[in-house]
Structure 1
Amino acid sequence: MMNISGISNKSLIGKILRWPLKLIPQTTVLPILQGRLKGKRWITGSSQHGCWLGSYEYDKQILFEQTIREGSIVFDLGAHTGFYTLLASTLVGAKGKVFAFEPMPTNIKYLKQHIQLNSISNVTVIESAVSDTTGIDYFEFNSSSFQGQLSSKGTLEVKTVNLDNLIFNGEIPNPNYIKIDVEGAEMKVFDGAKSMLMNAHPTIFLATHSHELHKQCIDFLTSLGYTIKAIGNSKIEESEEIIAVYK
C-alpha cells in the first residue's frame, strides 16, 4: 500500500501531486483506491483527500487493520465523517458491530451519507460527544472539522454521553476495541468509562492533544494495567498517537 499522504505538502513533488486535487468538486463521490476499504465510496469534500486515496493516517490505519478481529464490538469516539467507522465495519464483518459517536452536525451528515452510500448495516451512529457526564454541553468550532471540541467558550449545544451509563443501562455492549480522537476531552472520556475499562479491558487507539494530556492518559491507563506503545516510529513521549493493550 502506498503512503501518498506521507509525501510532504511542502516538497516540490508533494505540491505537484496535490495540485490536481484542488480541481475535484467537493460533492464528488469516488471509490477509495487502496487498503481494506478499496472500492468503498467516499465523498471527497467530507475530509482530507487521503481518505479516498486510501493513505489517511497510514501507520494508524495499518495497525487498526492488523488488530481488529472479525465479530468484534468497536467504539469510534470522535468518528468525524466515518473513515475509521467504515474501516471497523469492514473488519468486524456481519457478526460484529460498530458504534460511532460524533457531535458535529456537518460531520454527522457526511458520516450517515457514507454509511448509506456503502449499504452498511452493522453501524449505529450516536449523535453525541462522549464525556464524563450525560446531559448537555457546549461545543466550540475551530478552523477545521477535525478540531471541534467541548468547551465553555462554545456556541453549539450538544448532547453528551457517559459510556459507563450507556453500558449499565443496556443501550450499548462492552467494546473489544475503542478508537478515541476527541480533541482534548480524553480524560473526560476515561472518567466516564472507568467501570468498563476495568471490566472489559478493550484495546484502545488513542490520539492525545497536549503534552499534559498525553502524560495523564498514559498514567491513567498504566494504573489500570495497560501496556502503552506509540503508533508509528516516534518515541512514546513524542507521539500523539498511541495504542493501549491490557496486559
Structure 2
Amino acid sequence: MNEILVKVLNKLKIFKYFNFSKTIRINDKKFIVPVINDVGSSNLYISEPWMINVLKIAFSISGKSFIDVGINTGQTLLKIKSVSPEINYIGFEPNPFCINYLQRLIQVNNFQNTTILPVGISNKTEIGTLHFMNDSIVDSSASSIGNFREEHKEKKKTYIPLFDYKDLKDKVNLDKISILKIDVEGGELEVIKSFKEDIAKDEPIILMEVLPVYNDLSTFRIERQNKIQELLRNLDYEIFRVIKQNKLLLRFDKIKEIGIHSDLDRCDYVMVPKSRVTQFIEIAKDFIGY
C-alpha cells in the first residue's frame, strides 16, 4: 500500500471500518503500525521526512534523553526510534485516545526506555481544556489554548490534566534533558515557562513548532510569540528556522525574530544554546552541506 493510496483511503475515511497492522520502514528500520478505528492511519506514511536529519543532528550534539511534549499518535516517536532505539524517551500527551493508541504502538514494537505520561504540560498544575478543531478523536490540531485559532470554529472540547513539570520531575527518571521537543499547537509559551529552570541548567537542544502570526492584527499570537522570543533570549538561546524543500531538509536559517508570516512550511525551529551554536553548525554541514 503506497503513500498516495493510503492518503486517498484516509481522506475517504475508509480506515474507520477496519482494525489492522502494517509493517512500514522508516530510516531503513522496520516498525509495526497498528490502525484502530482509523487511529494511527497517519503513521502508515512518513510525514515530515526532513525531521529524521534534524533528529540525527540533535542526537549528534546531545543524544542521551529526549522529552516529547505533545506526542499525538507517535509520529515523532517512530522517527526517534529509527534514529536512536536506545535513547531514554519520555513523552507527555493529555488526549486519552492518543494514550490508548500509543500504549499499543509501544507494545507491538517492543520499544525500550520509553515512558508516556498521560498529561499535558503547562506552567501551573490544573484541570485544563483541550479544544478540538475537527471531528477526529486524535485531532493533531487540538490546543489547550482557547481561541488560539480564531479563524476556525471549535468542534468540541474536553477536560484534561495539565501539570507544571516541576510537579512531575520526581516521577520522571531523568537526570538531564538532552533534547526537548515541543509541538503543542499554541501552548509553547506555557511549556517553556514550565521547563525554564531545567532549560537553564541542562541547555538542551529545543525542537519547536510555532504556528504563524498571519498579520499584525493577530495581537494575541504576536504577544505570545514575543514572550517566547524574550524567554529564549534570556536563556541565552539562538533561533534557527528549519528550511525544507520537497519535504527534505535544505538548511537552517539563523533568525533574530520569528516575525509575521503565513507560510506553514516556515513554522519549525531548532533553538540552540549559544554555547553550542558552533558545534551545531559544524555537525549540520555533514547532513546538508550547511
In the superposition, the TM-score normalised over structure 1's length comes to: 0.80
Equivalent AA in structure 2 for residue 226 of structure 1: Y
| Residues 86, 185 of structure 1: alpha-carbon distance in 2 compared, 3 angstrom cutoff | same
Write out per-residue CA displacement over residues 97-130 of structure 1, whole angstroms, 9 at most, x where no aligned residue.
Answer: 1111101111111111110110112111100011
Q: Aligned match of 1:218 in 209, 225, 229? A: 229
Shift in CA distance, 146/195, structure 1 to aligned 2, threshold 3 Å:
same
Seq. identity, %: 20
**CA deviation string 1:81-100 (max 9, x = no partner):** 11212332443433x31111
1:47-82 deviation line (CA, Å, top 9, x unaligned): 464x3333x112223311332258611011000011
| Residues 1:244 and 2:244 are matched in the alignment | no
Alignment partners' CA distance in 2, 1:150 and 1:192: 15
Q: Distance in 1 between matches of 2:96 and 2:234?
A: 36
Q: What corresponds to 1:77 in structure 2? A: 69
The residue that corresponds to 2:283 in the other structure is: none
1:15-54 alignment, distance < 5 Å: 18-19=7-8, 27-35=19-27, 38-44=29-35, 45-47=38-40, 49=42, 51-54=43-46
Partners of 1:221 and 1:26 lie apart in 2 by 45
Which residue pairs with 1:122 in the alignment? 113
Residue 57 of structure 2 aligns with an amino acid whose one-letter code is Q
Q: Which residue of 1 aligns with 2:52?
A: 61
Q: Which runs of 5+ in 2 are unaligned?
A: 148-155, 214-221, 246-252, 275-290
The CA deviation at 1:205 is: 0.6
Q: Which has the larger radius of gyration?
A: 2
Q: How far off its partner does 1:31 sit?
A: 1.5
1:150-165 aligned at under 5 Å gives the runs: 150-151=144-145, 155-165=157-167
Please tell me the root mean square deviation across aligned C-alpha atoms, in Å. 2.8
1:194 and 1:117 mapped to 2: Cα distance? 35
1:46 CA drift (Å): 2.8
Contact 2:186 / 2:210 at 8 angstroms: preserved in 1? yes
Aligned partner of residue 46 in structure 1, secondary structure: coil
- Alpha-carbon separation, structure 2, partners of 1:19 and 1:210: 28
1:183-222 to structure 2, matched below 5 A, reads 183-211=185-213, 212=222, 213-222=224-233
Aligned counterpart, 1:148: 142
**Within the alignment, does 1:228 sit opposite 2:253 as a pair?**
no
TM-score with structure 2 setting the length: 0.69
Distance 2:99 2:127 in 1: 17
Q: CA deviation at 1:196?
A: 0.7
Matched to 1:150, the amino acid is S
CA contact (8 A) 1:164 1:194 kept: no
Query: Which structure carries more strand by proportion?
Result: 2
